[in-house]
A and B are shown apart, each in its own frame.
Chain A
Amino acid sequence: MALGPNTAAPFAARPKVIANAVVSVIWLTLLFFGFRSVWKYEATAGATGPAPTQWPAGAPVSFDPARSNLVMLAHPKCPCTRASVAELTRLLTQAHGALTASVLFYTPTGEAGWENEGLWKTVAAIPGVQVAADPDGIWAQRFGAETSGQVVLFDRRGQILFRGGITGARGHEGDNAGENIVLALALGQAGSDASTPRETPVFGCEIFSPEAHPEKPSLTSLP
């Protein structure tokens, strides 16, 4: 490399330095608020409905009395639920067969192109996972889910053990409390520890259209 003249423009003058600094501070401030909004959006949990205490009769997926049964209620076109499906896959791997998992996808009646598309195909490819359609979200309502990606865990007797999301934020993969609880309950490691949370926030799209389900049940504690 030849030693050439200094090509770096020096700070021409103090006012310019100050202006750059001011612009930088403004830029950083805007960034702070911008990312704060993103974080806020991702950390805002969705709604949940009233949870059943027992495995609902007539569900479109079968109940396995030999294992814990996990049901995920999902909107098939919600991009955020992709993270929930990824966590479900990881969960099943770590459970080593202690779980029977099912996914019920919301399908609006009379509209084509909702089944076997996108997430549906992804979930259908997971070994051992039952997939079924949930026309107009009837079974989502019965399982007490209003936000895509919510899971409900039942023990071998059909008693509810847990409900909530298995992602730490909206559409964000990674370690999270819901996944850890489900895994512990499925493996029988949770015990009777009262401090063990039985419910976590759910992050994802709304399963129902606002006009189709005006009354959103608030999140309530399970018994």
Chain B
Amino acid sequence: MTAPVTSLLANTAASVAQNDTLEANAQAWYQQALRELQAGTDRFFAKLLLGQWIAAIFLAQFLSPLTWAGRTSSVHPHVWIALFLGGLVAVFPALSGFRYPGQTLTRHTLAIAQMLMSALLIHVTGGRIETHFHVFGSLAFIAFYRDIRVLLTATFVVAADHFLRGIFWPQSVFGVLTASPWRTVEHAFWVLFEVSFLIMAIKRSLEEMLQVARRQITLEDLNEAMEEKVRARTEQLRQTEERYRTLFEDAPLGIFQASPTGEILVANGAMLEVMGFSSHEEMRAAGARLHGVPASNPTVEELLQRLKVKGQLSSQEVAWQRPDGSTVRVQESFKALRDCAGEILSFEGTAEDITQRRELEERYLQSQKVQAIGQLAGGVAHDFNNILTAIIGYSDLLIDKGGLESVPRAQVHEIKRASERAASLTQQLLAFSRKQTLLPRVLRLNTVVSEMDQMLRRLVGEHIQIQTKLASDIAAVKVDPGQVQQVVMNLVVNARDAMPDGGKLTIETANATLDEEYCRLHPEAVPGTYVSLAVSDNGVGMTPEVRARLFEPFFTTKAVGAGTGLGLATCHGIVKQSGGTISVYSELGVGTTFRAYFPTTRESVEELVATERSASLSSGSETVLLVEDEPMVRELGVLALSSLGYRVIEAANGVEALNRLEKMGADSISLLVTDVVMPEMGGRELARHARRLHPGMRILFSSGYTYDAIERGDLLEHGTYFLAKPYTMALLADKIREVLESPSTVPVNGAATAN
């Protein structure tokens, strides 16, 4: 059997089963309707019988109140018959009709009583032919039951009346004395005639009732199916409405509907948030309108005019003022809903709070700016530092070399000082752009601040009082102490400049925890534990506009020549490069507080050992391989190291240096001093080859390049040292001596120093 045929049979079977169910329900409905009809008819006959009984009494009293014998009279038997026999006929069936409506016995009892009531009335009215119509009327009434058996019972009563009278008084029925006995048959015929029609009517009526029942059940079935569909569709609609309502309410974008006059009628949660209301009630109470304030926004009238022309407005940026007075930058879009005549019914639109986005964009632009400057600084640092190395180095050689007159010597000192300022500027450029080389150490900020105390007091002058509040249980941080000193110094100088007439400057350290809420408000911050370093003054304070551009490089409020605009930018760069964050709180005329946060560490605190330089340059006799691609610096190095007693072998790049090493034997070289970035072979690769030839070889890197160039990879690993350009002869001599005197396997992190 094929699948379609099976499916067809299954459908047919289901249809048959459904039809059977419908037919059963129709039959039940039909039976119930019939029962209710018959019960109603029972009650009807009960009342009718009692009414007929009373009528019979009145009729008897009216038609034959007295019976006479001459001049004497007495109550007519018809009155007693109507009263007592009528009561016997009516009361019991009436009670049954009232008490047991719908029961078969009740029906038959009432039918018998009704027919006997006909007989009684015929007797009471003297057998008037008109009264015989009561029989036919009663039969018709009994047909109300729509029960043929009841009709037959009634017919039987009529027949029994004639039959019994025929038995007991045959002359009154069959008429021994009757000339026309067929009249009785005629009576019976008309009764049977009516009964036959009534039976037909009952059958048809029952059939119609059954049809009505079938239609009703079919209708109810259809209605139920329809209701089920309606319920399902209603549920679908509810779910759809719920989805759209949730979409509307939970949308991250503010959605609203406004009247033509600009009054906001409907708004979702995001819209309320944008407008600065906590609830719809609050919004309605405030009578929120579009573009009420600030005055710089277009008015509703202007919006209407624009919408009439364009039909809709998209992504226009305005500023809204919230009830609390704050201003929020909003990107809004409008669409006008019009009626058939083109009149505007309402506005619909969206509004998005872009305040934070704009701030982030500004920060990003700032970051891009810093990065660009940093790239610029990094780009020129190498060459610039090489140049400065040469200038400073040769200045040192001239100064150290005897025989110069006092005037030229002073001028060489000025050259060197200018070069050092240029080097410092270069370092600051690298610092704010976070591209300088950090040499972090685990320490407590209290130590750094304490060591700077005297120097800071000299720096700010006597008209400013410095107060230091250092937390006793301060946690350790891992930072470059030199850079932290730079931060402190820059902040203190900034505070000093904010108090030209003197004031109070407070340096404070404390443990701090930045939570999620703080970080939400300060996107640059990361949750965690920190040590805060706060520098406060009670100076002139800052306006919001100044505060917004505070860490921008080259931004300064100081007079031309009084500041470079790099101090706070450098602080910002150092703190960020150290993994921390910096915030500022300032009130105009009250003062300013800078608070730098440095992340805490669980590592052990290292002792800060101050290196003391001897007055004379360190000298030696070891063999040093100097690798430098910049001839000016290389020649300076050869000259300086030779003058200090070292045997110097020079090479212009890594390949040449490697040839020298292989030719001379690695063991004959005590120290490899190499630039990091060189053509053909850089310092890093050269060091790797050198170590392969002589694993214990001491190596000193030197570079004018910065963080990006030298921090990648494992340059500063065990046994390597670093000397940043530009450097003085003294630094070079001390560093070489330090490296040569250190054990060959000493980790660099514990001993290397820069600058």
Contact = CB atoms under 8 A, between A and B. Distances in A.
B85 interface: yes
Contacts of A213: 70
Nearest to A32: B164
A171 B64 contact: yes
A120 interface: no
Interface residues of B, number: 60
A162 to B, nearest CB: 12
A6 to B, nearest CB: 6
Main SS of the interface on chain B? helix
B129 interface: yes
A87 to B, nearest CB: 10
Given A175-B175, A207-B70, 7 more contacts: A1-B33, A31-B85, A36-B164, A75-B68, A80-B67, A86-B126, A169-B169
Contacts of B66: 77, 79
Contact of B71 (A40, A111, A171, A175): A111
Contacts of A3: 28-29, 32-33, 216, 220
A7 B116 CA distance: 29
Contacts of A184: 179
Contact of A7 (B39, B63, B76): B39
Interface in A138-180: 148, 168-169, 171-178, 180
Contacts of A28: 112
Contact of B102 (A9, A20, A36, A168): A9
A36 B126 CA distance: 17
Among A4, A11, A41, A42: residue with most chain B CB under 10 A: A42
Interface in A192-223: 197, 200, 205-210, 212-213
Given A3-B216, A35-B119, A174-B127, A180 B179 contact: yes
Contact of B103 (A9, A169, A205): A9
Contacts of B380: none
A35 B118 CA distance: 12
Contact of A82 (B96, B102, B109, B126): B126
A79 B63 contact: yes
- Rank and list the top 4 A-B pairs by shortest CB-CB distance, nearest first: A8-B102, A209-B70, A177-B177, A79-B64
Contacts of A27: 88, 92-93, 109
Interface in B98-114: 100-103, 105, 109, 112
A173 B63 CA distance: 14
A52 interface: no
6 contacts: A1-B33, A4-B36, A6-B35, A106-B70, A174-B127, A206-B68
Contact of B67 (A39, A40, A205): A205
Interface in A57-81: 75, 77-80
B368 to A, nearest CB: 80
Contacts of A8: 35-36, 38-39, 101-103
A36 B168 contact: yes
Contact of A173 (B76, B96, B128): B128
Interface in B51-75: 63-73
A83 B175 contact: no
A200 to B, nearest CB: 6
B457 interface: no
Interface in B249-271: none
B169 A43 contact: yes
Among B69, B76, B84, B96: residue with most chain A CB under 10 A: B69
A38 B81 contact: yes
B67 A79 contact: yes
Contacts of A6: 32, 35
Contacts of A169: 127, 169, 172
Contacts of B116: 31, 35
Contacts of B123: 38, 42, 172
A95 B632 CA distance: 175
A212 B66 CA distance: 19
Nearest to B176: A177
B29 to A, nearest CB: 5
A95 to B, nearest CB: 15
A21 interface: yes
Contacts of B120: 38
B211 to A, nearest CB: 14
A40 B167 CA distance: 12
Contacts of A78: 67-68
Interface in A91-111: 106, 108, 111
Contacts of B85: 31, 34-35, 37-38
B294 interface: no
Contact of B178 (A1, A36, A177): A177
Interface string A1-33: 101101111010000010011011001101110
Contacts of B28: 3
A222 to B, nearest CB: 16
A207 to B, nearest CB: 7
A42 B173 CA distance: 13
A66 to B, nearest CB: 26
